[in-house]
Amino acid sequence: MTNPHPTPRRLPWTTPDSKPCFLLTDREGGGYVARYAEDVEAMQLGMGIGLLEHAEDLIGDPGATARQLRFLSVQLSAALRDAVRVAERLRERLEGGGEPSDQGF
């Protein structure tokens, strides 16, 4: 089924200069790119869950070095950024696909 008034859908990746990417489709439910975006979102969230489990172990390790903890904080920051993007995309879809926010996450 086609949608005569498609709305942009934010994708789970950005341009090389960190600007959001959008998909504009006239297909209900999207096509290949929309399904791929959903797979990427699921992978991002899964990696974030795994990273949290690793973080708990590393933070509880008194022998963890400053370098290890700094690397962990960088990875946790990236995972949190991905999770925020997924949540914002979900909110946009639940709100009926209105204007995407331009916060640049």
CA dist., res. 47 & res. 22, Å (int): 23
What does the domain layout of the chain look like in residue ranges?
9-94
Q: What mean pLDDT value characterizes the chain? A: 84
What is the pTM (predicted TM-score) of this model? Answer: 0.70
Instruction: Give residue 92's pLDDT band: very low, low, confident or very high (50, 70, 90).
Output: confident
Q: Answer whether residue 10 shows pLDDT above 60.
A: yes
Each residue of 33-81: pLDDT tens digit?
888 999 999 999 999 999 999 999 999 999 999 999 999 999 999 999 9
**With the C-alpha atoms ordered 61, 66, 67, 71, is the resulting torsion angle positive or negative?**
positive
